[in-house]
Amino acid sequence: MFVDTPKEVRDPDVSAIAALDEPTRRRLYDHVVRQSSPVSRDEAAATLGLARKTAAFHLDRLADESLLDVIYERRSGRSGPGAGRPAKLYRRSTKQVAVNLPDRRYELAGRLLAQAVEESDATGEPVRQVLHRKAEELGTQLGEQSKTDVFELLDRYGFEPRREDDAIVLANCPFHALAQEHTQTVCGMNLHLLRGVLSGLDEAGLEACLAPSPGRCCVRLRQAA
């Protein structure tokens, strides 16, 4: 089972993208990622015609944002006394940066769908039935691990909840493009995901139901009968 990353944890992605908006920093980042081996401050500064201190400042900022990894190597190939201090080198990190506005969670949907197909293929259980079960299990896990209420949890995962009379409507669908093309499959998955969330949070006073409406998520949370 997996847990998707909540919006508060993903905010560093916004910061990382903002860091690349600075022209010199972006030039340095582009230079480092084009190289087949790690780059030193001196190499980067000389190649781009920058002062060494300027290159060092921006390279370290990129490392702070996890856009670059820092390693230390002795370029001379020697070791032991007299070999000198290892050089500080930079290379592309493995971090993937993605920001979607409004919030989208296509990776979460993709993982659930892939799990459902694989388990269905292995067991013979209908794939849609597996998908609903997997989605509800994930929702329950998210609810159980959360230390907040349902409104804040839904906001964290991009649903943009709004109170409407005695119900909670969801102004954003994190699976919008998929739901547009595969409505029955994705909305059914989403319904069971949110049922699991309510179960995990022990929100017995609310129930998730399908209530499609233009410009909104297909699921609404209403007072339980």
Domain count for the chain: 2
In a domain, 151, yes or no: yes
Alpha-carbon distance values, 220 to 80, 178, 211 (Å): 67, 18, 6
- Copy the structure tokens of residue 216: 């909104």
The DSSP 8-state label assigned to residue 204 in this structure reads T
Same domain, 41 and 127: no
Closest CA to 219 of 164, 172, 153: 172
CATH of the domain at 52: 1.10.10.10
Same domain, 218 and 114: yes
How would you classify the pairing of strands 167-170 and 39-40? unpaired
Same domain, 116 and 215: yes
In a domain, 182, yes or no: yes
- Copy the structure tokens of residue 77: 């190939």
Same domain, 216 and 111: yes
Same domain, 111 and 218: yes
In a domain, 98, yes or no: no
Q: pTM for this one? A: 0.65
What is the rounded distance in angstroms from the CA atom of residue 210 to the CA atom of residue 170?
11
Same domain, 111 and 219: yes
Main-chain phi, psi angles of 202, to 5 degrees: 60, 40
What is the rounded distance in angstroms from the CA atom of residue 214 to the CA atom of residue 140?
28
Q: How many residues does the chain have?
A: 225
CATH of the domain at 182: 3.30.1380
What torsion, rounded to 10 degrees, do the Cα atoms 4, 110, 17, 174 define? -70
Domain of 54 in residue numbering reads as 7-92
- Copy the structure tokens of residue 45: 């500064």
Same domain, 117 and 187: yes
Same domain, 122 and 219: yes
Per-residue pLDDT of the chain (225 residues; tens, 9 = 90+): 444 444 444 456 767 778 888 999 999 999 999 898 999 999 999 999 999 999 999 999 999 988 999 999 876 655 555 556 788 999 998 877 665 556 788 889 999 999 999 999 999 999 999 999 999 999 999 999 988 899 999 998 889 999 988 899 999 999 999 999 999 999 999 999 999 999 999 999 999 999 998 888 999 999 988
What torsion, rounded to 10 degrees, do the Cα atoms 122, 124, 129, 131 define? 20
Same domain, 88 and 118: no
